[in-house]
Amino acid sequence: MPCSLGAAALSGGLTAAFGIVGVTLGLSAIFGGSRDLQIDWLLPLAGVRFDLGPLGGLFVAATGAVAVPVGIYSVRYAQKEHWARFPLVMLPLFVAAMLLVPAAGSVTTFLLSWELMAAASLALVLSEHHRGAVRSAGAFYAVMTQLGFASILLALMVLSAAGGGDAFDTIAAHVGGISSGARTAVFLLTLAGFGSKAGLLPLHAWLPRAHPEAPSPVSALMSAAMVNMGIYGIIRIDLQILGPGPHWWGLTLMIFGAVSAVFGVLQASVATDLKTLLAYSTTENMGLVTLALGAATLLSSYGAQQVAAIAMTAALLLILSHGAFKTLGFLAAGSVLAATGLRDLDKLGGLARRMPGTTVMFGIAALGASGLPLGAGFVGEWLLLQSLIHSAHDNNTLLALMMPLSVGAFALTTGLGIAAMVKAFGVGFLARPRSPAAEAAREAPASMLTGMALAAAACAVLAVAPVLLGPALKHVLASVPTVGGGAAGPTLGTYLRLPGLAGSMSPGLIAAALVIAVLLALGLSRWGARHRPVAAVVPLWACGSESLSSRMQYTATSFAEPLQRVFDNVLQPDTDVEVTHFAESRYLVEKVTYRTLLADPVEHRLYTPVVHAVTTWAHWVRRAHPGSVHLYLAYGVLGLLIVLVIAR
């Protein structure tokens, strides 16, 4: 049953409305202090308890800010893609569930909203379930998200038992009495559970499967808002309630973050599927956020509160900027998918002429993701780098070793990130179309462009006017005293200034100066214009052949081939070149077939054995139920007898 415009408008409108509510509530929580709400009758035994503080407020506001453009965008998208009624219902529900997670004030409420969010997102991933790839991605996602949930459930049960209560307030008040064993258990379990939601290595495998297969507005919500909840969980449970953590917490977070960032960006730089590329970029960015969190924790545990505050601000800013450019990136990729039916960069190209609006939008997103000046990610990355470089290390060997290595990982990430984004934008949108479908592309409707323009505006604000976010981030930082909250934190004005350090930066001024400099350069190239003949449009040089065909162009695969070769050991591509010669002569080539398969090596090494073991085990278990009812009855009786014996 394809949906009508009315149903799509209702669903999209509701999603956007939830988004506006989220932004309002979030901002009021950031500036107005905690809001709490207790509803005892809603849930038996525990009741539902909400407690929205400044930290939760930031995540609620960020989620809301993602939901507004997605809601507007999804109206026409759902209609164009003939969504069924089910995903239309689930979309606003998913947003609502995501808004509840950071607002939860007790363990029970948190777990309930977490599971609601996971289930809603799973249902949305499966909305095109008639395709096999979607079902496989859905199964992968279902297993990983539920294992993650089990891990979080265990962790919060331990926490709640040790802290003597269900409400986060109660636990925080009794945190002094929690033994170090329980702390360690909670930290490790939550790191696994929340880390898998945030897409950290090695629990990232669901991300490059589920994000590409989900409908694009859903991918945007998952990648820009849902993965943040993993980061929120780590900050809220481990750093805010249980913190300040020991040195090794910070160290662990930094290592997982750095490895995820480098691995994610490396996979993104060789990916040929536009949405897979964006999904790996999510792993990269969440890795950077975790690296910043780890740095803040480690520095804080050594008493360097001022630098820790810079790292924490960097983490928060990176979350916001990632939300902005990734929303835009996935929505633009969705427009391309809707217009051409293609996600494969090797078949795209030439969209700049056919879809100029979408091209500009994706360009803004790619600039943000590459961390260059004028891009949304620049300020956050700058702060992170400053905190890593200027950590006061008073002869501390661990810091003196850890910080340079992190700078190395960070620098490699930004370098490769540029390559990945140049490939996505340059191969996907510029040059000439590589397939008939790309040639027939049509621009997205105005309402979809409006949704994207909202996200683009957010990118622009983050890129040149972080001053607008300064007050909010200050309030949030103050609410996390365990990781640098006691210190002043960096000043986000026209000039970004760091407390106690001499460095400064002004993204707005750079942007303005760059515009002037480019105009100046354009003026320079006018020099001698009086003597020039009339300008002409001429064909491209076709290397001597009659005409250029689009097959002569570089594709995404060939563009990334040098990088793939350089990182051969890490990526382990399975490449195969097959040359067929003419029968008459060995010197004449009839056909060359090139095939390359880039499997995720971590997935290959780590997941395959586990999946294999589970399958083998399942085969054994299956022998126990051959279909005989008598045997099953016997099992029942036997089981009951065992229970009775134990319970006696």
Identity of residue 196? S
Among 346, 439, 561, 603, binds other proteins (CB under 8 A): 561
Number of residues that bind other proteins (CB under 8 A): 93
C-beta closer to other proteins: residue 56 or 466: 466
Quote the least distance from Cβ 528 to other proteins, whole Å: 4
Single out the residue of 183, 322, 354, 423 in contact with other proteins (rule: CB under 8 A): 423
Among 21, 185, 389, 602, binds other proteins (CB under 8 A): 389
Site for other proteins in 192-251 (CB under 8 A): none
The H or E element that residue 143 is part of is helix 132-163
In angstroms, what is the minimal distance from the CB of 533 to other proteins? Answer: 4
Q: Under DSSP, is residue 246 helix (H, G, I), strand (E, B) or coil? A: coil
Among 264, 258, 378, 262, which residue's Cα sits nearest to residue 324? 378
Token pair 């997935």 is found at 603
55 to 94: interface string for other proteins, x by CB under 8 A: ----------------------------------------
My answer on whether omega of the bond before 356 falls inside 30° of 0, hence cis, is: no
Comparison of 546 and 584: residue with beta carbon closer to other proteins: 546
Report whether 329 contacts 365 (CB < 8 A). yes
Nearer to other proteins, 537 or 621 (CB): 537
Nearest one of 42, 197, 59 to 121, comparing CA atoms: 197
296 SS3 class = helix
Site string (328-367) toward other proteins, x via CB under 8 A: ---------------------xx-xx--------------
Segment near other proteins (CB under 8 A), from 114-122, 206-214, 225-233, 562-570?
562-570
The pair of structure tokens assigned to 330 is: 């996935």
Three-state secondary structure call for residue 173: helix
Paired tokens of 53: 């503080």
Give the integer Cα–Cα distance in Å for 392 and 385. Answer: 14
Measured from the CB atom, the residue of 136 and 558 that comes closer to other proteins is: 558
Our CB check for other proteins shows the closer of 143 and 542 to be 542
* Closer CB to other proteins, 373 or 486, in the complex: 373
Which window, 24-32, 86-94, 339-347, 389-397, contacts other proteins (CB under 8 A)?
389-397
- Tell me whether residue 107 or residue 379 sits nearer to other proteins (CB atom): 379
Q: How far apart are CA 96 and CA 591, in angstroms?
A: 55
* Residues from 259 through 288 that contact other proteins (CB under 8 A): 269
Report which of 121, 62, 92, 508 is spatially closest to residue 324, judged by C-alpha positions. Answer: 62
Residues 294-333 that bind other proteins (CB under 8 A): none
**Contact pattern for other proteins over residues 524 through 543, marking x by CB under 8 A:** xx-xxx-xxxxxxxxxxxxx
CA dihedral (151, 154, 157, 159) in degrees, to 10, reads: -70
Minimum separation from the CB atom of position 592 to other proteins (A): 15
Least CB distance to other proteins at residue 359 (A): 8
69: Cβ contacts below 8 Å, ≥ 6 apart:
327, 328, 331, 451, 452, 454, 455
User: Measuring CA to CA, which residue among 187, 223, 220 is closest to residue 204?
Assistant: 223
Figure out which of the listed residues 47, 357, 373, 445 binds other proteins, where binding follows CB under 8 A.
Answer: 373
Q: Residue 581 — φ and ψ, nearest 5°?
A: -100, 160
For residues 161 and 146, give the distance between their C-alpha atoms in angstroms, rounded to a whole number.
Answer: 22
Q: Could you say which of 393, 461, 470, 478 contacts other proteins (CB under 8 A)?
A: 393
Alpha helices for 479-506 (secondary structure H): none
Q: How many CB atoms lie within 10 A of CB 630?
A: 7
> Which of residues 116, 175, 182, 374 is near other proteins by CB under 8 A?
374
Q: Of the two residues 180 and 395, which places its CB atom closer to other proteins in the complex?
A: 395
Query: Which of 94, 178, 559, 571 is the binder for other proteins (CB under 8 A)?
Result: 559
Which range, of 396-404, 479-487, 594-602, 633-641, touches other proteins by CB under 8 A?
A: 396-404
Output 161 or 552, the one with its CB closest to other proteins.
552
When the beta carbons of 513 and 643 are compared against other proteins, the nearer one is 513
Within 487-516, the residues that bind other proteins by CB under 8 A are 495, 500-506, 509-510, 513-514
Nearest CB to other proteins, comparing residues 400 and 641: 400
Contacts of other proteins in 400-419 (CB under 8 A): 400-401, 403-405, 407-408, 410-412, 414-416, 418-419
What mask, x for binding other proteins by CB under 8 A, covers residues 606 to 645?
A: ----------------------------------------
CB 300 to other proteins: min, Å: 16
Q: Would you say 120 or 419 has its CB closer to other proteins? A: 419
Return phi, psi of residue 99, to 5°. -70, -30
Tell me which residues in 563-582 interact with other proteins (CB under 8 A).
563, 565-566
Cα 79 to Cα 424: distance, rounded to the nearest angstrom: 27
When asked if residue 522 is in the footprint of other proteins (CB under 8 A), the reply is yes
Gap between the Cα atoms of 315 and 530, Å rounded:
53
Residue 574 neighbours by CB distance under 10 Å? 10
Closest CA to 427 of 385, 384, 366: 366
48-52 vs 35-39, strand pairing mode = antiparallel
- The neighbour count for residue 508, using CB atoms within 10 Å, is 16
